Amino acid sequence: MTYKNFTVETDADGIALVTWDMPDKSMNVFTMEVMDEIEAIVDAAVTAAAVKGVVFTSGKSSFSGGADLTMIKGMFAMIAEEKAKDPANAVQKLFDASGRMSWLWRKIETCGKPWVAAINGTCMGGAFELALACHGRVASNAKSVKLALPEVKVGIFPGAGGTQRVARLTDAQSALQMMTTGQSLTASRAKAMGLVHQVVAPETLVETAKQMIKDGLKPVAPWDEKGFKAPGGGIWTPASAQLWPAAPAILRRETHGNYPAALAILKCVYEGLQVPFDTGLKIEQRYFTEIVQTTEAFSMIRSLFVSMQELGKGARRPAGIPKSELKKVGVVGAGFMGAAIAYVTAAAGIPVTLIDRDLEAATKGKAHSESLVKDSIGKGRLTQEEATKLLDLITPSADYADLKDANLVVEAVFEDREVKKAVIEAVEAVLQEGAIFASNTSTLPISGLAKNSKRPAQFIGIHFFSPVEKMMLTEVILGKETGDKALATALDYVAAIKKTPIVVNDTRGFYVNRCVFRYIHEAYDMLIEGVPAVMIENAAKMAGMPVGPLSLNDEVAVDLSQKILRATVADLGEKAVDPRHMVLIDRMVDELDRRGRKNGRGFYEYPAKPAKKYVWPGLKDFYPQKRADEVDVEVLKQRLLVTIALEAARTIEEGIVTDPREADVGSILGFGFAPFTGGTLSYIDGMGVKNFVALCEKLAASYGDHFKPTPLLLDMAAKGDTFYGRFDPYTVKKAA
């Protein structure tokens, strides 16, 4: 029998080599068709007398990344459809569908013939669960090998036997740590945990897997053997008596109860280890059915899985424009940001010329890349040969003429209009026809900067976030005259350096910074009201934010806040800024020289390592302090999330952001907006626009007009709309 996604070759020893290699896909993923073919292969292997065992491997550079986008979308479409037409049986149908993969893997495990997974490259999610169901597992020792069950990061959990097998192969504490964080394992770490049997050189991978079968590998999982005991002795042991009372408390400390899937993992493991394996699978299936119906799961999967992949693959790229060949990129400004932009460009294999006022400054910028490379070598991420090749791609220079053959030039100089004007003119004097100029400005409107350009159609903004080498988001900003070619080139460049882009129209602060400063300014209001700074920071973390607003302000620099406030007053008048905020920040910067992390003094104190930073005690003397029992923490949490979400809604209403996927993904990747919500607009849609408007009105009555719902929100609430309904990105694209 022939298969579309697999080849099956049986050798003279009776070992069938099943190679997964999906046509027209860069990575193997699970689809319903793939599942059907795997089941047919299992049935054929069982009935074929000539087949003594099966080795399952990949024909691509990676094993598999897990489920396909269409499969995930189909699951949620099925939930909605079934609940609409047959509510009584909808959950049962969902339960049955959720168990398809789990029971197929169990079929492999109990088929009576030995299966060995030969793992090369990435092996994630359901693919790793498939490998765990095989009787033997051999992994390549290549650096590219990553093994993980990362489902919790998108609001669900390993629901195809993962919670049951991992907890029976390694100790419960390690199993919980792996699954509740979604951490990736190297092949050697997986072997040390007992999740992989052998780690070998890539060229001997399949041969070693076959040898396991030849050596008499038993086609029986350990838990199907009589007398099996889980590592550590299971639930009723002294070690477990220490683990299990602490585990929920630790999880609560880390997640503040915002991630139902993480708690479900604990329940699956705790309950599953007390019953036979098949019963444990049913317990897992029951919890998976429950979790997949939550708002958190729907919102997180949509934003962090589906939308992120769609945007990364060029969902906003103009049609009909050939892919850009970036043979050379120029970066002007070898300071911290420019140097980092040069590094990520070279890391993508693109030659880059790094320009500064003199060769010494440009060379100093390249030294930043050298330090990053040295760190990567130390951590085993780069070999010396790879590091040398990367650094050789960066050419420091003080001569603008060296940019004459660049396809794209990124300007990363000071946030000063005159400085940028001089750079634009100097670059355009040598830039080849058709090349694109991009500004990395974080605050200055692109249309204003483009007035200094002779070619505004080829002028665009590419706003990076610091640290560039770690932050996954870039904002691509369209000026009023920016053309499609400039947008396509910018998106091709962002894809090449493996970042996720959002495309926004021009405005002060663009999208991310507008939201970030609303978050920070709400903290200023709270300080002025007398809310203790520690309560503000803790409430933010309880709401799901990775860092509190005062900590974030220290990171971006308190004196930058001052510059932005002053620039806003200069451009828009004094009424555009709360004068109390100006007083607070002027006192911090001008009187006390507390500028943030960069000078070790901001809203926090930064003692020498290994001591940790702590909130500056002097803040409590700025304003009369409320007692802790006078402050409603739930209201603090609401204020911090609502003020950001409201700003996101304003950007949609103003036409700055036109695609709700970008508002959501941008808010999570840009500043960590409570990921469990799925992002700013999913937060609103998740609670319902009508409920959000009511919450806004309640907060406005107590804390100010900046909480008043916008006309768009009032209209949506009246009509029962959602952002993903009214601004459906898929309908818009079809219409275009």
**Do the beta carbons of residue 170 and residue 200 sit within 8 Å?**
no
- Count other Cβ atoms within 10 Å, centred on residue 730: 11
CA-to-CA distance for 514 and 534, rounded, in angstroms?
24
**Do the beta carbons of residue 251 and residue 245 sit within 8 Å?**
no
Task: Return the structure tokens found at 655.
Answer: 């036409």
Selection from 481, 478, 487, 464 nearest residue 507 by Cα:
478
Q: Helices 579-586 and 558-572: crossing angle, nearest 10°?
A: 140
CA-to-CA distance for 199 and 190, rounded, in angstroms?
9
Selection from 273, 284, 223, 234 nearest residue 101 by Cα:
284
CA-to-CA distance for 42 and 103, rounded, in angstroms?
12
Cross-strand pairs, 17: 9, 55
- Count other Cβ atoms within 10 Å, centred on residue 7: 12
Q: How many residues does the chain have?
A: 736
Active site residue 706: no
Query: Which of the following is catalytic: 135, 197, 463, 581?
Result: 463
CA-to-CA distance for 681 and 257, rounded, in angstroms?
21
Residue 42 has phi, psi (to 5 degrees) of: -60, -50
Question: How would you label 698-712 residue by residue, b for 16+ Cβ within 10 Å and e otherwise?
Answer: ebbeebeebbebbeb
571 to 450, 496, 505, 568, 582: CA distances (angstroms): 18, 37, 19, 5, 15
CA-to-CA distance for 633 and 635, rounded, in angstroms?
5
**Do the beta carbons of residue 23 and residue 5 sit within 8 Å?**
yes
The whole-angstrom distance between residue 686's C-alpha and the CA centroid of its chain comes to 20
As annotated, the active-site residues are 463
